[in-house]
Structure 1
Amino acid sequence: MEDTISNELRINERIRVPEVRLVGPNGEQIGIVRVEQAMQLAREHDLDLVEVAATARPPVCKLMDYGKFKYENAQKARESRRNQSNTVIKEMKLRPKIDEHDYETKKGHVVRFLRGGDKVKITIMFRGREQSRPELGFNLLKRLADDVVADGVIEQNPKQEGRNMHMVLAPTRKKSEARTEQEAEKARRQARRADEAAAEKAEEARLREAAKKQPRKKKRGPADNMDPDIDL
């Protein structure tokens, strides 16, 4: 069997030890066997012998399709990088004595960011004597975290730095999941609009058809306006 060389794992003829602890293709434990026997089993199943735990004694090897294994790992790595690169940190600034209306507005923005799969840095800005009341900022951050708990979790606990206090919220869903849900919602809205347009056209057609069935009024001529009792 052709030997594909990996920089991380030794496979097939590159495994140069007397014996290995062999794991089957479905995860079944075969036991400790001579490496030649393990290679023979790999050839019989048209699979690769892959060393998955080199530091074990004896090393642990598994029978697998190594090309498929590398492809799946590459796919997972790309997905992980995509999620990391797509993660954006938004920032929302609040005052310790923010009024209720402004609080609800800013909370709405935070929820929208989190549902979009982005992290949110919450900054409480202290001014003047407010700096001597850090508990105001802490309580406000705790309230906000409790209010958005369905969409985000605390990734960085409240921390005061100079005149500001910060907290970071992380979304409960990955960016890719949020994007999938947004696309599904967009598709639902488009389908709903299409249904409404079709229903409107059908109603217009029905009204036109009903209008055609209505008897036409006879046009009145000059004689229709004369008194019938008048002798001409």
Structure 2
Amino acid sequence: MNKSVRVNEQIRAKELRVIGADGEQLGVVSLAEARRLADEAGLDLVEISPNADPPVAKIVDWGKYQYQKMKELQKNRKKAKASELKQMRLGLKIGSNDLEIKLRKIRKFLEDGHKVKIMIFFRGREMAHKELGYDLINQIITKLEDDATVEQKPQMAGRNLSITVRSK
């Protein structure tokens, strides 16, 4: 897992600030004394903060310590992934009820902390009436203004008019 963490005999500091198995401060003691305390408890001496002066070591079960660190990393990774970009595609001739359903779904994405890219796609001759697409985008923005802020202004890309919104 983490190669930089030193355990038991790998620790080189002459003096350590030791934290006991129950989390109590045992003060600054020599390396030999710290190892003896860990042996008495039947646990390992793990250097938690090597850059401190003096370095901080804790008396813990090494396997359990590694497991907890791994779980913590997984939890952090899960949180970091939460904010992704969701897409919602709409046709230019979308009905008002269908639009409401799409907006409900967009609000759900925003509640979950995602950004949403709303795309209006033009079919065939609809490209001649781009202003209808901009009107629809403005209608969507006004309906979402309580829940979202516009992150990227409307822009045309090929046959798509897109906008990006995020929760307030």
Give the TM-score category using the shorter length.
0.5 to 0.7
Tell whether 2:12 aligns with 1:19.
Answer: no
Report the equivalent of 2:38. Answer: 42
Q: Give how far 1:110 is off.
A: 3.5
TM-score, length-normalised on structure 2? 0.67
Name the counterpart of 2:131. 128
* Residue-by-residue CA offset, 1:58-81 (whole Å, 9 max, x unaligned): 001001001111123234444555
Q: Is the strand fraction higher in 1 or 2? A: 2
Residue 64 of structure 1 corresponds to which residue in structure 2? Answer: 60
Instruction: Output the CA distance in 2 between the equivalents of 1:27 and 1:19.
Output: 19
**2:152 aligned with 1:159, yes or no?**
yes
Contact 2:110/2:166 (8 A) holds in 1: no
**Percent of residue pairs identical:** 29
How many angstroms does 1:29 deviate by? 1.2
Contact 1:92 1:120 in 2 (8 A): no
Residue in 2 that maps onto 1:101: 97
Larger helix proportion of the pair = 1
Unaligned runs of 5+ in 1: 147-153, 170-232
Provide the C-alpha distance between the structure 2 equivalents of 1:42 and 1:100, rounded to a whole number of angstroms: 70
In structure 2, distance between residues paired with 1:133 and 1:103: 10
2:106–2:116 contact (8 Å) kept in structure 1: no
Question: In 2 relative to 1, CA 6–141 (structure 1 residues): closer, same or farther, beyond 3 Å?
Answer: closer
